[in-house]
Structure 1
Amino acid sequence: MVVSVPGSFEIPVVAQKLGKTGAYDAIICIGAVIRGDTTHYDAVANSAASGVLSAGLSSGVPCIFGVLTCDDMDQALNRAGGKSGNKGAEAALTAIEMASLCKHHLS
């Protein structure tokens, strides 16, 4: 299932709600925060990161932080499957590993 949110700041709320349903073994949180000319970038990036961590801890379901924090759109595109690898694919592998670990070794 894919759930879209209006911005990266809103990702943790949805991740926590999905985790608490018990219907998912892991939640992958993907997005991008691109630096602008203000300090708003730092607040959004930090809040998204700590919120995703909190969502996983409170729901008991691994919530994987796949939100790119980039200086510009080119860097975001390169990290999302371009020259710098595919951070989304890495997040998916992490979700599989964490779901397996939680299900088979920590239950």
Structure 2
Amino acid sequence: MVVWVPGCFEISVVAQQLGKSGKYNAILCIGAVIRGDTTHYDVVADSASSGVLSAGLNSDVPCIFGVLTCDNMEQALDRAGGKAGNKGSETALTAVSLC
């Protein structure tokens, strides 16, 4: 099942709800935060990573952090299946290894 959220900041809330539902063995949290001209990037990236960790701890279901934190769109595309590999598939392999 795929659940879309409006932004990376909201990933952890939904991950925790899904984990607590008892329907899933792991939750893959996949997204991207791309640096802009302000410090907003740092706040969102830090909140996303700590939120996913908290979601896993609070739901007792592994919530795997697969959120790319990139300097630009090209870097994000490279890491999402381009020349730098596919971090989404790596996230899935992490989940499989934990279950």
- TM-score bucket (shorter structure): over 0.9
> Aligned to 2:36, what secondary structure does the other structure show?
coil
What is the CA RMSD across the aligned residues, in angstroms? Answer: 0.3
Tell me the equivalent position of 2:48: 48
- What's the CA shift for 1:92? 0.3
- What's the CA shift for 1:93? 0.2
> Aligned to 2:69, what secondary structure does the other structure show?
strand
Give the TM-score normalised by the residue count of structure 2. Answer: 0.99
| Matching of residues 20-99 of structure 1 within 5 Å | 20-99=20-99
Counting aligned pairs with the same residue, the percent is 77
Structure-2 separation of matches of 1:82 and 1:17: 32
- What's the CA shift for 1:15? 0.0
- What's the CA shift for 1:98? 1.1
Unaligned runs of 5+ in 2: none
Structure-2 separation of matches of 1:79 and 1:98: 23
Unaligned runs of 5+ in 1: 100-107
Count of matched residue positions in the alignment of Structure 1 and Structure 2: 99
Poorly superposed stretches of 4+, deviation over 6 Å = none
Structure-1 separation of matches of 2:6 and 2:74: 21
- What's the CA shift for 1:34? 0.1
Structure-2 separation of matches of 1:71 and 1:30: 17
Larger gyration radius, structure 1 or structure 2:
1
